[in-house]
Chains A and B, each alone.
Chain A
Amino acid sequence: MKSVDGSAALFLAVLSGLSAAPEPRTQAAEKPMVFIQPGYPGTTEEARGFVSSFCKVIRQAGGPEVPAGEYHNDEKEGLKAAQEKQPLFGIVSLGFYLKHAGDLSLQPLLFSSPAEPFHLVARKGAFKDLAGLKDKAVTGTTLLELEFVERILFGFADQGAAPAGGPREWKVQPVKLFSRGYREVAKGRQDAVLMSHREYQGLKQLEAAKELEAIHTTRSYPVAVVVAFGERLPAEQQAKLSAALKSFGKTAEGKDLLQTMGIDGFTDADLKYLKALAERYQKNAPESAAAGKKAPGA
């Protein structure tokens, strides 16, 4: 029988603290780092080992001394942690950054690389284009950051946005676990699922992929942004952090951690680009905010 692949088991193992490094609890006096990635798998508890390893590798690569960190895949909890725990830096989703950059004084340092698109996937032959999704049930973990989806992923005319079109026309049903999402669509219980590029690539090896097809692909975006929280991390430390993170691909342990995150590495953040995105985010904001349309469950 096929054993669980090393990478999957590794993800689980690392996520659950298999690392030899101790798992120190965050103390009030110590500033941690945070991961805030809505829709990602696992729990804060399960990810302790992963975060601990991450911090260790940063230290080993000459980055700042960070004793511990936390992982959150729920936006509200992540926000709470960011506000209460006073982290020095974090790795957040692009959506979280765009939404809370102002609240939390987030300073972008690095992007995850490569930038990747998102895919809208449905049963084969069910829909010719986005227009067919009007009033249809659409699911996926990405929809947990509905604003990001509406304002950025589908925020450009050539990307299917319309005054009354795009995600605002769908019956949005976000899920916390990606595999639930595609399975619901494969079984016909939902009409389409929005997924990241990595998830899309992963889906291809499954049996379910035979019944699904991508009906729309967005532009490419970095899935994660490395940010400093305000001025807590001095510039010198920021530089060290950036250098350390960019060197992750040079060590075996670093590579494993990157693979677990589903990225290849880190590059310098393109501030102009981010600014353009933020402007777009704001520009596309009022209608959804004014309509009061909140994503259920988000």
Chain B
Amino acid sequence: MPAPNDFFDRLLGATADRLLRHPGKILTAYLALAAASGLAAWRWLQFDTNQDNLISNEQEYNRRYLEFLKEFGDLEYLYVVIEVKDLPTAMRLADRVAEEVSGLTQHVDKVFYRVPEEFARRSGLLFLPEELLRRIAGFLAEHQKEVQEFLAVESLARLLEFVSSRLDARLAEADPELAGLALEGLEKMLAGLEQAAAGEPAVSQEEARGISAADLLSRLTEPPLKDLLEKGPWKSLVPRDLLQQAAGQGYFYTGKLLFVQILPKKNFETLEVIREPLRAIREVLERIRKDFPGERIGLTGRPALQADEMETTNRDMTWATVLAILGVTLLFMVFFRALRRPVLTGLVISIAITLTFGIVTATVGHLNLLSIVFAVMLVSLGTEFGIHIIARYQEELHHTGDLEKSLRSALLTAGKGNITSATTTAAAFYTSLLVDFKGLAELGFIAGTGVLVCMAAMNTLLPVLLLFTDRWRLPIGKLAPVRIRFLALSADRPGWTLPAAAALLLAGSPLLRTVHFNSNLLELQAKGLESVVFENLISEKSDFSTWYAAYIADSVDEVRRLVSQLRGPEFQNVIGKTESVLDYLPDDQERKLAAIRQIGANLKPGPGGGKETGGQAQKELIDIDKFSAALEALLDRFDSFLSGALRSGGEGARVLERLTETIDRIAQKVQEDKASARERLSKLQSSWLELLRSARAEIEPLLDPLPLALDRLPQEIREHVVSRRGKFLVYAYPKENIWYEQNMERFIQATRSVDGRVTGVPEQVYESTRLMKRGFILAALYSLVAVFLLIWIDFRSLLFTLLAMVPILLGMLWLLELMPVFNLAFNLANFFAIPIIIGCGVDGGVHIIHRFREDRSAAIATRSTGTAVALSFLTTITGFGMMLPAHHRGVASLGGLMVLGCFTCLVFSVVVLPAILRLVERRRYHEVR
């Protein structure tokens, strides 16, 4: 053992003296401090789980985002996503969800899922293109006679006559596809007639009342209406998204999905910010699913994703911590062949972590989403200091049998190594204070301080505890230290070891090109989570997204300019939907109102027509003879078509055959029993006329719209697009899935090119990610520099400093080469493993070099300290390895990276470095000899 000749030697010597003389006071002091720290943390330590607070307010993009939040409030919604199979059913589902969730007033601030019905009803037509309105008005004027005829239909017989006469002219003139659609519609109508004639229920009056214009509108995006509108003469006037909007009737409908937006109440003072609201909403959905068994409905949105992520990581980290403690304890027992040592080490670690909590409470005052994991880190990082103390202590005790001398020796040797190791590790963490990422800086400060506290505790409290317990009963027989004998082999054969290591590194070098960073945060989440599944569904099945770029505008003109640019052709593949006050304030209202009034005038029944239907028709029985005659005329028409088709060899004859058969059957039924037919068909007539009446009643408000102005918008719409101070919000949704980096990049560039003041979650995530990546890389570089400097200060030798860096430098290189082999990529969850690996990796080199300089023997350094270093790495590997089975893929990748990084550093610490030291030993010390 070298003589105490430097500051640390003197400090450690004095510390050892004090420990041995006043162990009770030391223990009492630690326990008192721990108690005070624990109490203070329990009382005052806060949890800040707001991701927005991870970034400094001074960052320009964050400042803009905070201003946006201040202006418009929290607009980060939860989304209930309904996959639409049948639109009316999906709408009913949405109504039910909205109704029940709105009742959760203690958990929910706002529910927004459709434009208010009254608003849609009164103003719906104003949102149609002016050209379309004029064409409709023109069409109705041109076909005034037919329209009036239709409006005058007051019986089934007249309806059949109307259809028959239209077939005469229209079907013959029509496009074959349209003709087919018309016939399909007719087939359905006749099927209804046949059922009614046979006494089977076709459409009851109740059903007729329930089949509203809304139901009909909702069918606009389904065949046959969809085909009719997309293929007919209207196709150039009816843009696809308009059909969808009309069908959606103000619901949040994107064609395949329907959404209900929910703003939950958020409590940022708890870890689970929206746990209770989420639980309550999910209970509601579970209940609703039972009533709608065939429907697919789920909850997602950034708050849900974050909450699910938090829950998953909490669960994973809890299990990982428990398993880590068990695993490390087992490892200890195997290495030290005693239970007492790991128990004492665990006790010291617990006290050290409690002290760290106290320091955090007094300084930072809170834990954030990154720093919250520091405790788990310290279990792994702090334990190794204890390992070195215990290993050296047992080795000395085995040789000398003197407890106090052994403790003193352990402190002066391993304790010194611990100081170097702890300061370098802490320095690696503290370098994150230099980067522009507040969350990471806090983690760096807390973790670095925690490492120092752990080291101090292991260097002071652990020896005290060893003193107490071993004084009581000294386990002499079991003190023989475990040796990993084969480690010495590498030290003895540098001619094999070093070329093999070089070859290994060289062989893996091509793989360096494949190392990459995966920015997709969704791919970090656990698979199969409802929020993740439905987030992906939204990307797959719509051009909507739960994130959006946001622009704040001062005037409607500015909104118009922004929207116009966002909808430019150069962005059509990147920017999807936009939303703004313009969506609720249509242009050219005066001209549209004129066209709508004209439509209304053309739809008014003429004199003698449109007499009160429904109520009156209910009382009247059908004129069965007139009905039969109309049916006969219809049959004649179809027989004429069918005969022509058969003569000319047309295949479409089958459809016509079905129609003629149906009409014939109806006619036969009527003839067989006119009285019964009269009664049954009268009911049907009443139902159909009621249907017509309700349709007319629903259409009437549309034809008398109120001009729209800002002050007439319903409150829920206003709040969505205008702030209290009168600023306007423009939303721009990405068309592509921006969970992928390249798509995000394109979206950000596009939105920024429209206006550089853009903000929103995509900007936040993009910049934060960029900042974090840059921060981690810079932190890693600074760590390496800091570590180098500190080791150099300790060793005062460039050679030994470089040698101490070998495990970390070459270990990191080999890690990068092995990552692609194990399908590992860097991501935002595992990137901060780099500073940890630097801290851990350098420890091995520092301790080996310390021991080598002490004994001037690579073999001794390897066999004794090498074993401790190996155990130290193995505890870290065990600790982080328990993250590998985590459900959260980010946590699992962190575990994977740590395990692989520690393994590579371990190999270079205890296999390669000793081989190099052997050469140095031969050259330096054997020459001297």
| Chain A residues close to B by CB (< 8 Å) | 1-13, 15-18, 40-43, 46, 141, 177-180, 183, 187, 196, 198-199, 201-203, 205-208, 259-262
Interchain CB contact under 8 A, B171 and A12:
yes
Having A4-B180, A177-B643, A178-B643, one finds 19 other A-B pairs with CB under 8 Å, namely A1-B655, A4-B655, A4-B656, A5-B645, A7-B648, A8-B653, A12-B644, A41-B640, A177-B642, A179-B646, A183-B661, A183-B664, A196-B647, A202-B646, A205-B654, A206-B654, A208-B657, A259-B648, A260-B644
Query: Given the complex, which residues of B lie within 8 Å of A7, measured CB to CB?
Result: 645, 648-652
B647, B649, B652, B653 — most chain A CB neighbours (10 Å)? B647
- Partner of A205 from the list B180, B184, B653 (CB cut-off 8 Å) is B653
Q: How far is the CA of A83 from the CA of B187 in the complex (A)?
A: 43
Interchain CB contact under 8 A, B171 and A262:
no
Interchain CB contact under 8 A, A11 and B648:
yes
Interchain CB contact under 8 A, B179 and A198:
no
Interchain CB contact under 8 A, A5 and B644:
no
Which chain B residue lies CB-closest to A40?
B647
Interchain CB contact under 8 A, A179 and B660:
yes
Query: Given the complex, which residues of B lie within 8 Å of A46, measured CB to CB?
Result: 168, 172
B291 part of interface (Cβ distance < 8 Å) = no
Query: Given the complex, which residues of B lie within 8 Å of A10, measured CB to CB?
Result: 176, 648
- The count of residues in chain B whose C-beta lies closer than 8 Å to any C-beta of chain A is 39
B639 part of interface (Cβ distance < 8 Å) = yes
Query: Given the complex, which residues of A lie within 8 Å of B283, measured CB to CB?
Result: none
Interchain CB contact under 8 A, A5 and B647:
no
B173 part of interface (Cβ distance < 8 Å) = yes
- Partner of A179 from the list B173, B174, B639 (CB cut-off 8 Å) is B639
Q: List 11 A-B contacts (CB under 8 A).
A: A1-B180, A2-B180, A3-B655, A8-B652, A9-B652, A179-B638, A179-B639, A196-B647, A206-B646, A207-B654, A262-B648
Main secondary structure of the interface of B (DSSP, over half): helix
Within 8 A of A (CB), among B702-753: none
Which chain B residue lies CB-closest to A203?
B646
B625 part of interface (Cβ distance < 8 Å) = no
Q: A1-B184, A12-B641, A178-B643 are in contact. Are A260 and B648 (CB under 8 A)?
A: yes
B184, B645, B651, B653 — most chain A CB neighbours (10 Å)? B645
Q: How far is the CA of A177 from the CA of B636 in the complex (A)?
A: 8
B307 part of interface (Cβ distance < 8 Å) = no
Q: How far is the CA of A42 from the CA of B644 in the complex (A)?
A: 8
Q: How far is the CA of A179 from the CA of B663 in the complex (A)?
A: 13
Interchain CB contact under 8 A, B176 and A9:
yes
Interchain CB contact under 8 A, B180 and A202:
no
B146 part of interface (Cβ distance < 8 Å) = no
Query: Given the complex, which residues of B lie within 8 Å of A43, measured CB to CB?
Result: 640
Which chain A residue lies CB-closest to B650?
A8
A5, A8, A17 — most chain B CB neighbours (10 Å)? A8
Q: How far is the CA of A206 from the CA of B641 in the complex (A)?
A: 14
Q: How far is the CA of A198 from the CA of B181 in the complex (A)?
A: 27
Interchain CB contact under 8 A, B645 and A11:
yes
Name the 5 nearest CB pairs between A and B, nearest first. Answer: A3-B180, A202-B646, A16-B172, A5-B652, A8-B650
Q: How far is the CA of A41 from the CA of B650 in the complex (A)?
A: 14
Interchain CB contact under 8 A, B644 and A8:
yes
- Partner of A5 from the list B172, B181, B639, B650 (CB cut-off 8 Å) is B650
Q: A4-B656, A5-B652, A18-B172 are in contact. Are A198 and B646 (CB under 8 A)?
A: yes
- Partner of A15 from the list B172, B183, B655 (CB cut-off 8 Å) is B172
B269 part of interface (Cβ distance < 8 Å) = no
Which chain B residue lies CB-closest to A258?
B648
Which chain A residue lies CB-closest to B182?
A4
Which chain A residue lies CB-closest to B657?
A206
- Partner of B652 from the list A4, A13, A15, A40 (CB cut-off 8 Å) is A4
B507 part of interface (Cβ distance < 8 Å) = no
Interchain CB contact under 8 A, A262 and B651:
no
Query: Given the complex, which residues of A lie within 8 Å of B3, measured CB to CB?
Result: none
Interchain CB contact under 8 A, B651 and A5:
yes
Smallest distance from the beta carbon of A138 to chain B beta carbons, Å?
18
Which chain A residue lies CB-closest to B646?
A202
Which chain B residue lies CB-closest to A256?
B648
Interchain CB contact under 8 A, A206 and B653:
yes
Within 8 A of A (CB), among B815-852: none
Which chain A residue lies CB-closest to B636?
A177
B169 part of interface (Cβ distance < 8 Å) = yes
Q: How far is the CA of A141 from the CA of B643 in the complex (A)?
A: 10
Query: Given the complex, which residues of B lie within 8 Å of A201, measured CB to CB?
Result: 649
Smallest distance from the beta carbon of A200 to chain B beta carbons, Å?
9
Q: A179-B642, A183-B660 are in contact. Are A2 and B654 (CB under 8 A)?
A: yes
B177 part of interface (Cβ distance < 8 Å) = yes
Which chain B residue lies CB-closest to A189?
B668
Q: How far is the CA of A203 from the CA of B654 in the complex (A)?
A: 10
Smallest distance from the beta carbon of B164 to chain A beta carbons, Å?
13
Smallest distance from the beta carbon of A107 to chain B beta carbons, Å?
27
Q: How far is the CA of A208 from the CA of B168 in the complex (A)?
A: 25
Interchain CB contact under 8 A, A262 and B664:
no
Interchain CB contact under 8 A, A180 and B649:
no
- Partner of B647 from the list A3, A198, A208 (CB cut-off 8 Å) is A198
Within 8 A of A (CB), among B110-168: 168
Q: How far is the CA of A183 from the CA of B187 in the complex (A)?
A: 19
Smallest distance from the beta carbon of A183 to chain B beta carbons, Å?
6
Q: How far is the CA of A199 from the CA of B646 in the complex (A)?
A: 6
Within 8 A of A (CB), among B779-796: none
Query: Given the complex, which residues of A lie within 8 Å of B224, measured CB to CB?
Result: 1
Q: How far is the CA of A224 from the CA of B353 in the complex (A)?
A: 107
Smallest distance from the beta carbon of A173 to chain B beta carbons, Å?
15
Q: A13-B172, A205-B651, A262-B648 are in contact. Are A41 and B656 (CB under 8 A)?
A: no
Interchain CB contact under 8 A, A262 and B649:
yes
- Partner of A202 from the list B653, B655, B660 (CB cut-off 8 Å) is B653
Query: Given the complex, which residues of A lie within 8 Å of B641, measured CB to CB?
Result: 8, 12, 41
Q: How far is the CA of A2 from the CA of B659 in the complex (A)?
A: 13
Which chain B residue lies CB-closest to A187?
B664
Smallest distance from the beta carbon of B716 to chain A beta carbons, Å?
41
Q: How far is the CA of A1 from the CA of B227 in the complex (A)?
A: 12
Interchain CB contact under 8 A, B648 and A178:
no
- Partner of B657 from the list A9, A17, A141, A207 (CB cut-off 8 Å) is A207
Interchain CB contact under 8 A, B173 and A178:
no
Which chain B residue lies CB-closest to A204?
B646
Interchain CB contact under 8 A, A4 and B172:
no
Interchain CB contact under 8 A, A41 and B647:
yes
Within 8 A of A (CB), among B207-240: 224
Smallest distance from the beta carbon of B322 to chain A beta carbons, Å?
63
Interchain CB contact under 8 A, A18 and B173:
yes
Smallest distance from the beta carbon of A44 to chain B beta carbons, Å?
13
- Partner of B172 from the list A12, A179, A187 (CB cut-off 8 Å) is A12
Query: Given the complex, which residues of B lie within 8 Å of A11, measured CB to CB?
Result: 644-645, 648, 650
Q: How far is the CA of A202 from the CA of B172 in the complex (A)?
A: 20
Query: Given the complex, which residues of A lie within 8 Å of B654, measured CB to CB?
Result: 2, 205-207
Query: Given the complex, which residues of B lie within 8 Å of A16, measured CB to CB?
Result: 168-169, 172-173
Query: Given the complex, which residues of A lie within 8 Å of B647, measured CB to CB?
Result: 40-41, 178, 196, 198-199, 202, 262
Query: Given the complex, which residues of B lie within 8 Å of A8, measured CB to CB?
Result: 641, 644-645, 648, 650-653, 656
Query: Given the complex, which residues of B lie within 8 Å of A187, measured CB to CB?
Result: 664
Query: Given the complex, which residues of B lie within 8 Å of A208, measured CB to CB?
Result: 657
Smallest distance from the beta carbon of B648 to chain A beta carbons, Å?
5
Smallest distance from the beta carbon of A242 to chain B beta carbons, Å?
24
Q: A42-B644, A177-B636, A183-B664 are in contact. Are A3 and B176 (CB under 8 A)?
A: yes
Q: A5-B653, A7-B648 are in contact. Are A180 and B639 (CB under 8 A)?
A: yes
Which chain A residue lies CB-closest to B645?
A8
Query: Given the complex, which residues of B lie within 8 Å of A12, measured CB to CB?
Result: 171-172, 179, 641, 644
Query: Given the complex, which residues of A lie within 8 Å of B657, measured CB to CB?
Result: 179, 206-208
Q: How far is the CA of A7 from the CA of B651 in the complex (A)?
A: 8
Q: How far is the CA of A65 from the CA of B795 in the complex (A)?
A: 116
Q: How far is the CA of A260 from the CA of B639 in the complex (A)?
A: 16
Query: Given the complex, which residues of B lie within 8 Å of A3, measured CB to CB?
Result: 176-177, 179-181, 652, 655
Which chain B residue lies CB-closest to A3?
B180
